[in-house]
Structure 1
């Protein structure tokens, strides 16, 4: 059944009137199933209704949602209930029903990811997951090489650097071409693989957190495998943002965040190890809580905050209500809306290409010639002070620092239109 816009808005709008401590928690949004995702992405009335599921400050326009994703109201209410309940019953919950509830959440996550539950394990975030995979990888010998790129996540780079002393390997670094095209990226990775014949491990970002560039991961993973190189894929920013499953990546090892684009409370992520490759990752500190043939032996977080894990299913309900294709379409639409308004500004560099397979909503820009940290801190400060638009300076790209823009599901077309107006001002003021 296809709902009319009136029916959709009526269902969503009535929830906005709920008091914060209301007796019943708000429900996920209802999205029409008939229209194409790209058509729904442009329906501002629909997205205003979706935005009412978020408590967002009106003091500024938040276009820095890449750090983490705030919880929609159904998740926020569930998290509060779970936290209160946990505080009331304490360890009784942990020693009775928690494991069964966590296993149910793990099955839900695995189903969305398109893998078996025995192939994933919860972590306290993407960073813990990446550290466990990189530090536990057993396929390295002294004299081997590992490789990462300038755009890879800084904590993942640090973990790769750690292997130099711990495993006696050479740590190599490559540069992702800028401006990027699909073929240029594939050529760059092929050159890097060919230049390092003793390469055994490659770190690969599906969507990096600096510029938002989306790489052709499956092709690069296959290229590496043909040369005997294993790949660990960083999917922390792409999962819940782009429409894909783990199988689409083609990798044997990957790590994910739950508190970025899935809207789970802070402190949740998971790692993936293809079942046949589990012996190639060490158990953490020889931990014996789980047997070595159980992926959960590759994670030991101590006494962690379990409330985020107990809220995962509500977050997945919200994700499923919107649908991955619709989320992806809306997030790309917001990026396109501001980028296409400033493409003609001669001294403004947009650091993601127009190839729709190579971006989501995260996109960075740079004023030509303004490549220092100070330059880009100043740009972000001007946007906030003059226009009340919050962005963030990002370092790491070899061509120089930049400013990252990250809309969210609650972002309006008016919000990104304001950014486009502000960027014309910035580009003129900072012209060399």
Structure 2
């Protein structure tokens, strides 16, 4: 016989449980993007009436033009509203949600993200950003004394620092291979890496798309080369994921990391780490966890209490992305780059630091102006023309990184061209 207290407890739990519907039941309605039936995707790339609909799905600060999508991008309105709803839902039942629903819903989300990324649920964990994901691998890899990690000279500073820390802590040698700024062919990159490999090389760290210039590196070919020599490959996919059209399985890499708040437009503080099936046992967790078997990737997902509302809204970001399509999105981003670059690349004093060949870059492009430091150029663009971007000043690369997104209008890019025209004419 159930006593009154037990009955009330069970009834209350059932009532609370009913408020947590499956992810698919709480989805916000996607905006109805009307694609003209008489136009192919190739024609839609330049159909400004269609992209106006997409632009209306974002809210942007009206006081400046945002051409810095590379740091992180705003969530589309539907994703933002979903995040707000999730914050309210969890805030209403905080400990109950965290103890009773958190892991169930994270696993449902894991399945959606794995399907989108092109890997198995047993190969993926959710993190807070690329840096965290890559540190799990870099600091956790099991290597023998003298075994070497090879990286390029185009890697992100946080990753260089992570490798430096590993070298200081474990004595792991780190070798750097310099890459050309604008290679003639992608094969040139593969050849330079192959030439730098030695019998001591056991791991290669390479960016899919460099943060400096948006240059796309031939990671699939690098992975194929490495595996022939028994070398593992870590891919920094921060700028490529949901930007370049690909699936992780296409690359055949061993480890892959990215931030979901960049080109996927998920809420800030979301990342992904992929570990190829069978390799999790080689990685020590960044935070100790003995609840899972050595070969279970979930042992790497122990971060303590997490901002679940942010994570849950990854699903809404995926749905919005898929309503446009990966291929069409990538083509549009590539078009936006070529639109403004084609108008200024022949200007005196302007240097384009990004390769423009087919598949060598997409939205991001780096340009320098002769006689101006990167900071001077970026400050001038903002102070005089209200165009916001970021300065890149790194060895042989000096310029402004221009990174439009789907919310960027042609009118805004025309203002960039007008500003650059005035700057170089002074």
- Please report the TM-score for the alignment, with normalisation by the length of structure 2: 0.89
Q: Please, which of 380, 401, 420 is the counterpart of residue 423 of structure 1?
A: 420
Q: Is residue 169 from structure 1 mapped to residue 172 from structure 2 by the alignment? A: yes
Distance, in Å, in 1 between the alignment partners of 2:422 and 2:134 is 40
Aligned CA-pair RMSD: 1.7
Distance, in Å, in 1 between the alignment partners of 2:102 and 2:378 is 43
Distance, in Å, in 2 between the alignment partners of 1:27 and 1:53 is 10
Query: Which residue number corresponds to residue 8 of structure 2?
Result: none
Kindly state the Cα deviation for residue 428 of structure 1 after the two structures are TM-superposed: 3.6
Flag structure 1 segments of 5+ consecutive residues without an equivalent: 1-23
Kindly state the Cα deviation for residue 263 of structure 1 after the two structures are TM-superposed: 1.3
Kindly state the Cα deviation for residue 364 of structure 1 after the two structures are TM-superposed: 0.8
Q: Is this contact kept in 1: 2:258–2:272, CA < 8 A?
A: yes
Query: Which residue number corresponds to residue 239 of structure 1?
Result: 241
Q: Is this contact kept in 2: 1:383–1:390, CA < 8 A?
A: yes
Q: Is residue 379 from structure 1 mapped to residue 377 from structure 2 by the alignment? A: yes
Distance, in Å, in 1 between the alignment partners of 2:235 and 2:31 is 31
Query: Which residue number corresponds to residue 388 of structure 1?
Result: 386
Query: Which residue number corresponds to residue 218 of structure 1?
Result: 220
Kindly state the Cα deviation for residue 31 of structure 1 after the two structures are TM-superposed: 4.8
Query: Which residue number corresponds to residue 399 of structure 1?
Result: 396
Q: Please, which of 49, 52, 55 is the counterpart of residue 48 of structure 1?
A: 52
**1:357 counterpart SS class:** coil
Query: Which residue number corresponds to residue 94 of structure 2?
Result: 90
Range 249-258 or range 184-193, more displaced: 184-193
**1:353 counterpart SS class:** coil
Q: Is residue 149 from structure 1 mapped to residue 152 from structure 2 by the alignment? A: yes
**2:375 counterpart SS class:** helix
Change (3 A) 1:53 1:29: same
Range 297-306 or range 60-69, more displaced: 297-306
Q: Is this contact kept in 2: 1:236–1:256, CA < 8 A?
A: yes
Which deviations, in whole Å up to 9, do the C-alpha atoms of 1:289-340 show, x marking residues without a partner?
Answer: 4332321101321112111111111111101111101110111110010111
Query: Which residue number corresponds to residue 323 of structure 2?
Result: 321
User: Which has more radius of gyration?
Assistant: 2
Change (3 A) 1:33 1:48: closer
Q: Please, which of 61, 66, 78 is the counterpart of residue 65 of structure 2?
A: 61
Query: Which residue number corresponds to residue 10 of structure 2?
Result: none
Mapping 1:324-403, distance limit 5 Å: 324-368=326-370, 370=372, 375-396=373-394, 398-403=395-400
Q: Is this contact kept in 1: 2:334–2:362, CA < 8 A?
A: yes
Distance, in Å, in 1 between the alignment partners of 2:160 and 2:31 is 37
Mapping 1:109-258, distance limit 5 Å: 109-138=113-142, 140-181=143-184, 182-193=186-197, 196-258=198-260
- Please report the TM-score for the alignment, with normalisation by the length of structure 1: 0.88
Distance, in Å, in 2 between the alignment partners of 1:147 and 1:402 is 27
**1:301 counterpart SS class:** coil
**1:96 counterpart SS class:** helix
Distance, in Å, in 1 between the alignment partners of 2:240 and 2:388 is 22
**2:359 counterpart SS class:** helix
**1:146 counterpart SS class:** strand
Distance, in Å, in 2 between the alignment partners of 1:29 and 1:67 is 28
What is the aligned length? 398
Which deviations, in whole Å up to 9, do the C-alpha atoms of 1:55-93 show, x marking residues without a partner?
Answer: 101101100111111010100101001111111111111
Range 376-385 or range 399-408, more displaced: 399-408
Q: Is this contact kept in 2: 1:25–1:74, CA < 8 A?
A: yes
Which deviations, in whole Å up to 9, do the C-alpha atoms of 1:163-209 show, x marking residues without a partner?
Answer: 2122212222222202223233223222222xx43121111100111
Kindly state the Cα deviation for residue 285 of structure 1 after the two structures are TM-superposed: 4.0
**1:326 counterpart SS class:** helix
Kindly state the Cα deviation for residue 98 of structure 1 after the two structures are TM-superposed: 1.8
Flag structure 2 segments of 5+ consecutive residues without an equivalent: 1-26
Distance, in Å, in 2 between the alignment partners of 1:376 and 1:407 is 18
**2:204 counterpart SS class:** strand
Distance, in Å, in 2 between the alignment partners of 1:28 and 1:124 is 27
